[in-house]
């Protein structure tokens, strides 16, 4: 069975990530696209060879033709689009964050449960080869028992983009909480194999941006593991691909794993065995985008395969909800306690 896929939102992430993957996927029969901006619609249509009769200004017009949608619009629009698409019987991939508020997140969970349709959120770090390898090593007890998990996530979106898009609008999901910290919460919970039960954090701006560009939280997982996560927007492009400002550090009682988020490598220390650098299998060391590109490819392919195989893991929605609840508490300057 081949699938028809609808794209809602033909902006940066559609163009640079999802469309290049989806137009080549052998399980996809046809891609339909929509964007409220006629110019974006035409540009993407021409770039990816999508026929004019598969391009729509109103996403409602493509829903009858597709099995699933990729919602790739500014974050404040996700909620209404997810609910609408579920109610029209479509499986949903939605870029992170799932939505803006805990109420919206719970409403999505209910509608997903009622309809039995798949909802997956774009937390692509879980598909990065080096982070998958780190997870496998942690499970095997490679560094003993986990004591603490720390994460640093540098991004530059608002500094690099000429159009700035929604990233600088606090009402539309702009700011580093929804852009970067959400990724760290997701990946650290995955490594801990546990949910966060307490979080205390701060967010603010170190210059005159209208949204927060630095966020920092201390977390405690149900398992007892304690951690610390920091997300930062700064114009430090030369540093972006280094292991210093975009990295995770998991400390165990028998060693330390430091997987880089971009470069694809892992530095490890193991008691009695010293320090080593390890790489995921078949890594292309010459391509700094290798791990990132692999993550997006596997993420999108997994969603397509889940539809084909009828695999629906509602826990993924629950995990996305927890992230929204924690971000909401930080925004409101409150402690998060489950």
Beta bridge partners, 259, equal 266
Q: Distance between CA atoms of 196 and 338, rounded to whole angstroms?
A: 8
- DSSP, collapsed to helix, strand or coil, labels residue 319 as helix
Site for ligand NAD in 25-54 (CB under 6 A): 34-37, 40
- CB of residue 8 to ligand NAD, shortest distance in Å: 5
Smaller CB distance to ligand NAD: residue 36 or 107? 36
Classify strands 274-278 and 266-270 as parallel, antiparallel or unpaired: antiparallel
Nearer to ligand NAD, 50 or 72 (CB): 72
Of residues 243, 215, 239, the one with CA closest to residue 229: 215
Given the DSSP bridges, would you call strands 68-71 and 146-155 parallel, antiparallel or unpaired?
unpaired
Question: Which residue's CB atom is positioned nearest to ligand NAD?
Answer: 11
Fill in the DSSP letter of residue 260: B
For residues 148-167, which are near ligand NAD according to CB under 6 A? 165-166
Applying CB under 6 A, among 3, 5, 6, 8 the residue interacting with ligand NAD is 8
Nearer to ligand NAD, 95 or 319 (CB): 95
Region of 141 on the Ramachandran plot (φ > 0 left; ψ -120 to 50 alpha; else beta):
left
CB of 76 to ligand NAD, least distance (A): 9
- Any contact of residue 252 with ligand NAD (CB under 6 A)? no
Nearer to ligand NAD, 56 or 221 (CB): 56
Please, which of residues 53-82 interact with ligand NAD by CB under 6 A? 59, 72-75, 77
CB of 199 to ligand NAD, least distance (A): 21
Q: What one-character-per-residue DSSP string does 135-162 give?
A: HHHHHTTTTSSEEEEEEEEEE-HHHH-S
Give the CB-side neighbour count of residue 136, counting CA atoms within 13 A: 10
Question: By CB under 6 A, which span of 11-19, 46-54, 133-141, 315-323 interacts with ligand NAD?
Answer: 11-19
Q: Which residues bind ligand NAD (CB under 6 A)?
A: 8-14, 34-37, 40, 59, 72-75, 77, 95-96, 122, 124, 165-166
């Amino acid at each position: 069975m081949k699938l028809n896929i609808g794209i809602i939102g033909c902006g940066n992430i559609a163009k640079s990530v999802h469309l290049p993957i989806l137009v080549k996927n052998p399980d996809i029969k046809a891609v339909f696209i929509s964007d409220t901006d006629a110019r974006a619609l035409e540009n993407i249509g021409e770039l990816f060879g999508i026929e004019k009769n598969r391009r729509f200004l109103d996403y409602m017009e493509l829903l009858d033709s597709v099995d699933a949608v990729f919602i790739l619009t500014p974050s404040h629009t996700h909620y209404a689009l997810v609910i609408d698409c579920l109610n029209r019987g479509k499986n949903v991939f939605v870029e992170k964050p799932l939505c803006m508020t805990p109420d919206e997140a719970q409403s999505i969970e209910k509608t997903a449960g009622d309809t039995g349709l798949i909802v997956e959120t774009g937390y692509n770090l879980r598909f990065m080869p080096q982070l998958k390898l780190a997870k496998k090593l942690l499970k095997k007890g490679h560094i003993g028992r986990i004591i603490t998990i720390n994460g640093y996530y540098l991004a530059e979106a608002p500094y690099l983009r000429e159009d700035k898009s929604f990233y600088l609008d606090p009402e539309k999901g702009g700011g580093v909480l929804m852009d970067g910290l959400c990724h760290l919460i997701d990946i650290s919970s995955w490594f801990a194999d546990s949910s966060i039960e307490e979080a205390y954090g701060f967010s603010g701006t170190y210059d005159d941006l209208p949204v927060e560009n630095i966020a920092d939280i201390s977390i405690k997982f149900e398992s007892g593991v304690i951690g610390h996560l920091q997300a930062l927007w700064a114009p430090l492009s030369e540093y972006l691909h280094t292991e210093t400002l975009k990295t995770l550090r998991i400390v165990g009682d028998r060693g330390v794993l430091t997987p880089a988020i971009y470069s694809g490598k892992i530095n490890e220390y193991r008691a009695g065995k010293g320090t080593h650098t390890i790489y995921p299998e078949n890594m292309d060391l010459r391509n700094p985008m290798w791990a990132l590109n692999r993550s997006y490819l596997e993420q999108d392919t997994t969603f397509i395969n889940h539809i084909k195989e009828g695999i629906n893991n509602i826990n993924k929605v629950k995990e996305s909800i927890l992230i929204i609840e924690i971000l909401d508490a930080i925004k409101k300057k409150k402690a998060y306690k489950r």
